[in-house]
Amino acid sequence: MLIAAALAAGAASASALAGTSDADIAALVAKENARVVAWRRDFHQHPELSNRELRTSGIVAEHLKRLGLEVTTGIAKTGVIAVLEGGKPGPTVALRADMDALPVAEKTDVPFRSTATATYQGETVGVMHACGHDAHTAILMGVAEILAGMRAELPGKVMFIFQPAEEGAPDGEEGGAPLMLKEGLFASTKPDALFGLHVFSTLPAGTIGYRPGAFMAGSDGLRIVVHGRQTHGARPWAGLDPIVVSAQIISALQTVVSRQVDLTENPAIVTIGTVRAGTRGNIIPEAVEMRGTIRTYDPAQRTDVLARVTRTATRIAEASGATAEVQFGATPNPVTRNDPALTLRAVPTLTRVAGEGHIREIGLQTPSEDFSYFAREVPSLFFFVGVAKPGVPANEVADNHSPLFYVDESALPVGVRALTQLTVDYLTGRMK
């Protein structure tokens, strides 16, 4: 085994893990890279929506069982948990990857592009790993392989968390991190530290971005239904047009952030992402449904923004003779907060992995993550690994959630090595 050879070589970079050096771990990562790439491409070609990750979780569970780990399946519907018992006593580190894809029809030209479809909110949609969860899953499978090879020398435990439904459970279902915790994720094994990563399009491939404290926004789902009165499109005065009312609401909602919230204190966002109404061009419909998202960083600001959104929608509808129902998601994501002390301890490790000049502290990020639920339970660090293709101008890089989202696979070894090195350094006490 490569790990045995590395240990025999007695590398100069000292580690409490029986002489294993950074170079040894880098060699193990390089050896594993072809499999990580193959897993990632397979998951990319066979994406599955939230709470439906049956094929993906099956492949993950089979791999972990083959490594001789203690594996639990079916948590939070399709989640997979595995525990690696080290050969020596020590603390417990948890590592998390999410597995679900998005209802996005892929437009890239990679040979392993997705052509999958599924039913989402009653419609047939394309399905794509447009946020990189295929990479996260493959990376953590590679980390499990490497750490399992160190089992005898490893002090403590490693918990591998493969999470479903990070993008949100389907209507009427529970899912994701909140459901994993509800079903007892940390009941028998509570980690001393938790690490997670996300591939991100705003950073060059292989660059690591981090931030102590508040990192990613809290999010609330938004649903507004405007009720009017259906009539013939040629006789609008005979009914009450909910489409016109909805257009007024959409425009006015933008003033909640641009004119009513002090953005010098914290950023905030109100976005409407879908509008559904009508069946024909010559029929004014009975109702319009809008769905969107709200992003905030402060509890008081969140309460204020939600109240303003509700007031804006209901009063504009009332002024037009219509009515508006405003609903917010049942399980909002809290702000993702990195434990400041753990983050500062981890920066030297991440710097050794990425290299000087390829790690940076970044600003507040407006996407949200249900990793935030885990981070409220144990000290945690969540960081970005850049996947933007070298040489592509920043304004031409397709963003996460785009049908053109692209993962430069040169970033995958950086992700594998980062999670592996963080685990080894924490367990062996090198992370002071």
Contact 128, 21 (CB under 8 A): no
What are the chain's domains?
A: 2-217+335-428 (3.40.630.10), 218-328 (3.30.70.360)
Q: Is 166 a catalytic residue?
A: yes
pLDDT tens, residue by residue, 338-356: 999 999 999 999 999 999 9
pLDDT tens, residue by residue, 10-30: 333 334 464 679 999 999 999
pLDDT tens, residue by residue, 176-228: 999 999 999 999 999 999 999 999 999 999 999 999 999 999 999 999 999 99
Q: What is the pLDDT, as a whole number, of residue 19? A: 60
Q: What is the pTM of this model?
A: 0.94
Integer CA distances (angstroms), 139 to 25, 125, 249, 415, in order: 14, 27, 43, 6
Q: What is the pLDDT, as a whole number, of residue 17? A: 63
| Spatial separation of the C-alpha atoms in residues 57 and 55, rounded to whole Å | 6
Q: Considering 145, 166, 220, 370, which one is annotated as catalytic?
A: 166
Listed residue (49, 10, 158) closest to 96, CA to CA: 158
Q: Considering 100, 145, 153, 369, which one is annotated as catalytic?
A: 100
HEC secondary structure over 369-427 = CCHHHHHCCCCEEEEEEEEECCCCCHHHCCCCCCCCCCCCHHHHHHHHHHHHHHHHHHH
Q: Is 100 a catalytic residue?
A: yes
Q: What is the pLDDT, as a whole number, of residue 253? A: 98
Residues 6+ apart with CB under 8 A from 248: 316, 320
